[in-house]
């Protein structure tokens, strides 16, 4: 669990409380929130780390779902 920043649809970063548990990534707007806003299942995903120099963000990551077939 930790505070991370996510890129919002308006192009700005938003601070969110993230928790990894039960093979899922959960995030809430506040640490005290009882129910997560989003639950991201992690099974079958690949994580890619990259750098965004134009906004000064050092460690970013995104998920890629591997299609079966």
Give the model's pLDDT for residue 11: 82
Q: pLDDT tens digits for 5-61?
A: 887 888 888 888 988 888 888 989 889 998 999 898 888 777 766 666 666 655 666
Burial degree of 45 (CB within 10 A; 0-12, 13-18, 19+): middle
Q: How far apart are CA 5 and CA 56, in angstroms?
A: 13
pTM of the model as a whole: 0.64
């Amino acid at each position: 669990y930790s505070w991370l920043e996510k890129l919002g649809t308006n192009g700005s970063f938003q601070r969110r409380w993230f928790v990894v548990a039960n093979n899922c990534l959960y995030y809430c707007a506040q640490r005290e929130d009882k129910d997560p806003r989003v639950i991201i299942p992690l099974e079958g995903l690949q994580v890619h780390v990259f750098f965004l120099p134009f906004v000064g963000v050092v460690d970013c990551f995104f998920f890629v779902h591997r299609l079966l077939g």
